[in-house]
Every structure is written in C-alpha cells, then in structure tokens.
C-alpha cells in the first residue's frame, strides 16, 4: 500500500490532521517571527517612513502571491483529488503542466514590473521619501520574485504529495537565513530598506533549493518534469485555485485603497498605523492559513476517494483549531497591543496610541476570520471554487471596503479600524448559509475534474 494512501485514506483523521497541522503551524510561526523581526529592523533602524514605504510595496508581493497561490493550491488540490481516485499519472501531469505555466507567467511578470516600476509607485500615491524608499526596496527585490513565486507553487504540491515537513523546513530555514542577513545588511552594512529586500530575496533562493530536494527524496509520487501545458488543464487549475487568488487579490486592492484613502484623507500617521497593522495582522492570517493547509490535503484526497465521513471530520477539526487560534490571538493582542506597537515605534505617543487601537480592532476579527478562511478552504478542497471565491471576495474586498467608507461616516474617523471586524462578521453569515445550502454528498455528484489534456505521458503509472 502506498504510504500516501495509508496516511490520508486509512490512518485516524485526528492523527493525520496533526501530522499536517504541526508542520504547517510551526512553519507559519517561524515565518511570522521573521516578518516580526524584519519589520522591527526596518522600523527601528531605518525609520517610520520605511514602514510606510513597505506598505506601498506589499501590493507587488500580493500580485505575485495571488497568482502563485492560485496555480499552486488549485493544481495541488486537483492533483490530490486525482490521487484519491488512484489516478497517479494524471496527478503528475497536472503538476508538470502547472509548473511549466508558472515559470512562463512569473518570468513575464518580473519583466513587466521592471518596466513599469516608477509609474506604478506614482499611481499608488508614493512621493518624496516614501517614493525613494519604496523604489529602492523593489529594485533589490524584483530579481528574486520568480523564486519567491515558484516557492509558493512548489510548497503546495509538496504538501499534497505527502511531505508537509519539508515545506515547513524550507520555510523555517528561509526565515532564519532572512533574519541573519537582516542583521548583516541592515545593521552591520547599513543598507537600509535595500538590505532588507536583498535579505528576503536570498532567503527565497535557499528555500527553493530545499523544496527541490523533495523530488530526489523518494517520499512522494511526483517527479520534477516540465512539460508543455494544455489550455484546458491550466483553465481548470485556475478555476480551482481562484479562491486563493481572490484572497490575495482582494488584499492587494484593499491595501491600495486603504493606503490612498488614509494618506489623502487622514494623514501619514494613519498610513503608518495601517502599515504596522497589516504586518502584525499577518501573524493571525498565517496561523489560520496553516490550519487550513492542514485540512486541505486530507479533505481533497478523501473527497476523491469518496470517504465523506473523513472529510466532515477534517473540516470540523479545522474549524475547532482555527477558531481557538483566533480567540487566543485576539485576547493576547487586546492585553498587550500598546507594548507590541512600542517595539516598532518609539518617541511618538500619538502614533503609538493610534496604532495600538488599529491593531486591537484588527485582531478582534481573528476568530471570525478563522471561520471564514476554513470554510472557504473546505469548499475549495471539494472542487467548489464558486462558493469559496464568493467568501474570499466578501471578507477581503466587498465588506471591508464598505466598512472603510461607511463606518467613519457613521461613527467618526477612528471607526475606520472597525472595517475588518465588520467584514468578517458579515461574511460569517454567508459561510453558514453555504454550508447548509451545499451539503457534502451533493458536492460529490457534480465535481468534475476530468480534463482531456491533463494526461500523463507514461500510461503504466496510471495504476499508482
């Protein structure tokens, strides 16, 4: 019996869930620690303006991440479903074609980003010192964004190919390398935000080397092959990965709109407070995504195998651990928000007070965020991208922008920070509706993933 089947198909669901949960959450914790330290270096050693500059650069990360998550999670989910059906050859073909398409798309994006660097920064409202710092950061970072994007794609497939620990190891080592290089480039060599970007880029190369070792370890089914991709295969991968794309795309649009509105109607202090909130909010988001990553391979594989009870159990475990994680984060930040903010900003009490309030409001939404993210992941893992995409767009774009413009008009400027709680709370209602409206058994009847051009060149492997 293949060990992948033993783990996902026969072992106790709780045991399997923990096997995926611990590496996913541990990796995310380390990555959060890296982001925390990276932000700390920038805020303390470069200055508050640098935090605002990094906020303006986040949309670049988000565009690459959105497409990478769409291709990686969409392809890996489809592959896992096919593995559950014992269609090993088809799963290999999905991976090979997705990887080939990813190389093409991200190479083109890097070139386009180079050619449009200044106009895009100006369009986002950057000027003066913030423009200079933002441009410096991107000049150093852009050469590494191909590796950054491919790491997201490879991690998704490797996690679904029975090797979640390697994805964790790559993330942990990459984060540690980044921290060490931050010390060297920012503190020792005094390279400013350019040094921070260079440290991040080199760490991505290290992660790539670790992830590629999977294909020579013999611990999974996948082989490192790049083949010609078919339009219908990529279209299906895109459809299944659309919810992940919308999570990042919505975040990108929201950040751009928030940056513009805060900078032009509220002032630079609000922009800096928002930048710090987004960077700290990644802690909650990444931890919840770690829980979601633990659910997805188990749900997809067992859905493909027709084991619906195991699917329900995995979803229930994900909700339980996600909501508990969100509650813990909300309580911790509620008690220590001011102290946390003072690690990044000092000698500016009004800005500290404003940032503390923003951070508290954001983290109040964490338990609701957990319910929405796990539910969206559940539908995505079942090859139901429409429902998952709807939840991602509602929580990440529609309701949060509605809150941004509506709440300050009703309750004053400070109510702008409540937009996050408003968005997640409104979306929870839709999550509950979709769970009741689309029962699991009906999902199994209409999930169609049989694309004719996603085929393996080695017929003998079809038996798995």
Confidence of residue 464 (pLDDT cuts 50, 70, 90): very low
What pLDDT, on a 0 to 100 scale, did the predictor assign at position 440? 67
**266-301 confidence digits (pLDDT tens):** 877 888 888 888 878 878 888 898 899 888 888 988
- Please tell me the distance from the alpha carbon of residue 3 to that of residue 88, in angstroms, as a whole number: 13
pLDDT score of 443 more than 90 = no
pLDDT score of 1 more than 50 = no
Where b means 16+ CB within 10 Å and e means fewer, 90-115 reads bbbbbbbbbbbbbbebbeebbeebee
What pLDDT, on a 0 to 100 scale, did the predictor assign at position 5? 46
Q: What is the mean pLDDT of residues 383-406?
A: 90
**In the chain, where are the structural domains located?**
7-444
What pLDDT, on a 0 to 100 scale, did the predictor assign at position 439? 72
φ/ψ (deg, to 5) at 47: 130, 165
**149-179 confidence digits (pLDDT tens):** 999 999 999 988 878 889 889 988 988 898 8
In this structure, the dihedral spanned by the alpha carbons of residues 102, 69, 282 and 345, taken in order and rounded to 10 degrees, is 30
Where b means 16+ CB within 10 Å and e means fewer, 213-229 reads ebbeeebbbbeebeeeb
| Residue 453 or 205, more confident | 205
Q: What is the mean pLDDT of residues 428-443?
A: 81
**92-135 confidence digits (pLDDT tens):** 999 999 999 999 999 999 999 889 888 888 777 677 777 888 88
pLDDT score of 2 more than 80 = no
Which of the 8 DSSP states describes residue 230?
P
Average pLDDT, the chain: 83
pTM of the full predicted structure? 0.78
Task: Judge contact between 110 and 239, C-beta under 8 A.
Answer: no
What pLDDT, on a 0 to 100 scale, did the predictor assign at position 461? 37
- Please tell me the distance from the alpha carbon of residue 378 to that of residue 380, in angstroms, as a whole number: 5
Task: Judge contact between 106 and 145, C-beta under 8 A.
Answer: yes
């Amino acid at each position: 019996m293949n060990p992948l089947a033993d783990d996902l198909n026969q072992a106790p669901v709780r045991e399997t869930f923990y096997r995926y949960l611990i590496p996913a959450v541990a990796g995310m914790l380390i990555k959060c620690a890296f982001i925390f330290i990276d932000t700390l270096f920038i805020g303390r050693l470069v200055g508050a303006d640098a935090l605002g500059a990094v906020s303006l650069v986040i949309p670049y990360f988000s565009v690459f991440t959105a497409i990478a998550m769409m291709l990686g999670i969409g392809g890996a989910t489809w592959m896992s479903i096919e593995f559950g059906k014992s269609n090993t050859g088809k799963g290999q073909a999905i991976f090979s074609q997705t990887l080939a398409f990813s190389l093409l798309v991200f190479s083109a994006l890097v070139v386009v980003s180079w050619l449009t660097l200044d106009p895009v920064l100006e369009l986002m409202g950057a000027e003066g010192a913030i423009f200079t710092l933002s441009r410096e950061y991107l000049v150093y970072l852009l050469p590494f964004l191909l590796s950054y994007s491919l790491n997201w794609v490879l991690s998704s497939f490797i996690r679904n190919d029975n090797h979640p620990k390697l994805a964790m190891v790559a993330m942990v080592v990459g984060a540690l390398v980044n921290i060490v290089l931050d010390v060297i480039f920012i503190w020792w060599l005094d390279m400013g935000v350019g040094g921070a970007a260079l440290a991040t880029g080199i760490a991505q190369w290290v992660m790539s080397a670790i992830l590629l070792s999977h294909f020579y370890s013999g611990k999974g089914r996948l082989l490192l092959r790049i083949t010609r991709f078919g339009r219908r295969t990529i279209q299906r991968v895109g459809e299944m990965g659309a919810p992940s794309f919308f999570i990042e795309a919505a975040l990108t649009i929201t950040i751009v709109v928030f940056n513009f509105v805060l900078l032009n109607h509220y002032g630079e202090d609000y922009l800096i407070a928002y930048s710090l909130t987004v960077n700290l909010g990644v802690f909650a988001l990444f931890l919840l995504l770690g829980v979601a990553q633990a659910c997805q391979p188990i749900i997809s594989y067992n859905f493909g195998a027709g084991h619906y009870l195991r699917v329900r159990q995995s979803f229930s475990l994900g909700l339980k651990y996600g909501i508990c994680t969100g509650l813990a984060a909300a309580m911790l930040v509620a008690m220590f928000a001011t102290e946390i903010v003072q690690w990044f900003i000092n000698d500016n009490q009004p800005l500290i007070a404003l940032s503390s309030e923003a951070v508290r409001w954001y983290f109040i939404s964490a338990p609701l965020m957990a319910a929405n993210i796990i539910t969206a992941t559940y539908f995505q893992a079942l090859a139901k991208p429409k429902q998952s995409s709807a939840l991602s767009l509602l929580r990440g774009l529609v309701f949060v922008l509605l809150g941004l413009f509506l709440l300050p008009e009703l309750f004053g400027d400070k109510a702008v920070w409540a937009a996050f709680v408003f968005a997640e709370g409104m979306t929870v209602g839709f999550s509950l509706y979709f769970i009741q409206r689309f029962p699991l058994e009906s999902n199994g009847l209409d999930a169609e993933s049989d694309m004719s051009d996603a085929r393996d060149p080695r017929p003998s492997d079809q038996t798995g």
